[in-house]
Amino acid sequence: MKARILLVDDDPMLLAGLKRQLRREFQVLTASDGPEALAMMRSSGPFSVVVSDFRMPGMNGIELLSRVKELNPDTVRMMLTGSTDLSTAVQAVNEGNIFQFHLKPCPSGTLARAIHEGIQKYSHKARETSHLEAFRKSIAQASEIQRNLMPKDRLEIEGLQIAGRSDWCDETGGDYYDFFTRSLNGKTCAGIVVGDVTGHGLPSALLMTTARGSMRERIANDGNTADVVSDVNRHLVRDVDGTHRFMSMFYCEVDPVDHILRWTRAGHDPAFLYDPHAETFDELAGPGMPLPLGVLEETRYEESVRAVAAGQIIVIGTDGIWETRNAQGEYFGKNRLLTLVGQYARQVPHTIVSSVLEELNAFRGDLPVEDDATLVVVRLEC
């Protein structure tokens, strides 16, 4: 199939001659001025190449080619003109972003070769655009799938209210959170996990999805939080071998009947336990600073245990919150996070999460989001 080109000139005799010379090699359409050319772009486009005169009534060639670029950036733009003014050529290149500039009279063979080069350029750009669009669709689908893997933004079981949210800086994220119920020794406990993969974007999202699958599979079996995290680490080490990627994790289980909290950290910042009666925060750290997941297969993690009371709130986040900076270079910081939790402590966990992340966005202002931010809040009701 012949490539489609559009010739624009206010000289009907010139247009007729060019069309006669070029129609054996190309599918040639013509327009006598800028508005007619733009109308044809909308109704009959796209064209591989548009060749325009410079001096035309109403709209000159530079204005036309600039509009052509807006309508279809892939279309190759060329100028064929009798003007020999250097400033015109410079303006055409800078504003019309043209591919080639030819002076009248231009031999038909020279013009045909130039158009063939333009068509090759158009085909290359069109393929790039098509591949980019396909990639964007794939990323959008990956984002949708990953969002669907996340739990609902809140969970209520007897004695507990749980809410969480991840705000990603890209279409896909490396932050991970999940919550679920788990039966241990005949009791129903709530399991809550928050993870943070190194980096962000699609590679981190794939690793996050792998960790989620391993975690969901492991919790179906017996074992305490340290057993769960240790087993997930072994699986992850094999999956990330040679990629230089790893992830931090905070995993905890809450027994709402006996008021017991158990947790294990793998390279993740400690969570916090807020007592609204005393208005105090306790750091849920545990022994040492254990390695993140995916580093050493033989790493053995340890479980920490403490009693909790009705009304207390567990706060688990990722460093995308406290390491966010504003226009003045200030960090959001953990103190600001905890102050906000205390301020909204009387609200349900879902409202606490939403309010804190809205405050985080307001603090950042117009600066770009540089990291994923995840927050999970758990309240003991009785």
Model pTM score = 0.69
Assigned CATH topology for domain 4-140: Rossmann fold (3.40.50)
What would the mean pLDDT of 214-221 be, rounded to a whole number?
Answer: 90
Token output for 141: 């689908």
What would the mean pLDDT of 6-23 be, rounded to a whole number?
Answer: 91
Strand duo 49-52 + 4-8: pairing? parallel
61 three-class SS = helix
Q: Which of 289, 179, 286, 195 is nearest to 236 (CA)?
A: 195
- Kindly tell me if the per-residue pLDDT of 372 is higher than 70: yes
39 three-class SS = helix
What are 154-174's pLDDT values in tens digits?
Answer: 777 888 999 999 898 776 567
Residue carrying structure tokens 């980096």: 199
- Kindly tell me if the per-residue pLDDT of 101 is higher than 90: no
As a whole number of angstroms, the distance between CA 139 and CA 352 comes to: 30
pLDDT score recorded for residue 290: 87
Beta carbons within 8 Å of 299's beta carbon, 6+ residues apart: 230, 233, 266, 290, 291
How many Å separate Cα 150 from the centre of its chain? Answer: 16
As a whole number of angstroms, the distance between CA 22 and CA 41 comes to: 20
Portion of the chain with pLDDT greater than 70, in percent: 90
Beta carbons within 8 Å of 35's beta carbon, 6+ residues apart: 58, 59
- Kindly tell me if the per-residue pLDDT of 357 is higher than 80: yes
pLDDT score recorded for residue 252: 97
Alpha-carbon dihedral of residues 8, 44, 118, 14, nearest 10 degrees?
-20
The CATH code that applies to domain 150-380 is 3.60.40.10
Average per-residue pLDDT for the chain: 88
Q: Which of 297, 277, 276, 286 is nearest to 251 (CA)?
A: 286
- Kindly tell me if the per-residue pLDDT of 146 is higher than 80: no
pLDDT score recorded for residue 197: 86
pLDDT score recorded for residue 291: 93
Map out the domains of the chain as residue ranges.
4-140, 150-380
Give the DSSP H or E segment for 102: strand 100-103
As a whole number of angstroms, the distance between CA 266 and CA 260 comes to: 20
- pLDDT, greater one: 242 or 370: 370
Q: Which of 231, 356, 366 is nearest to 301 (CA)?
A: 231
| Listed range (62-76, 305-319, 353-367) with the worst mean pLDDT | 62-76
pLDDT score recorded for residue 95: 64
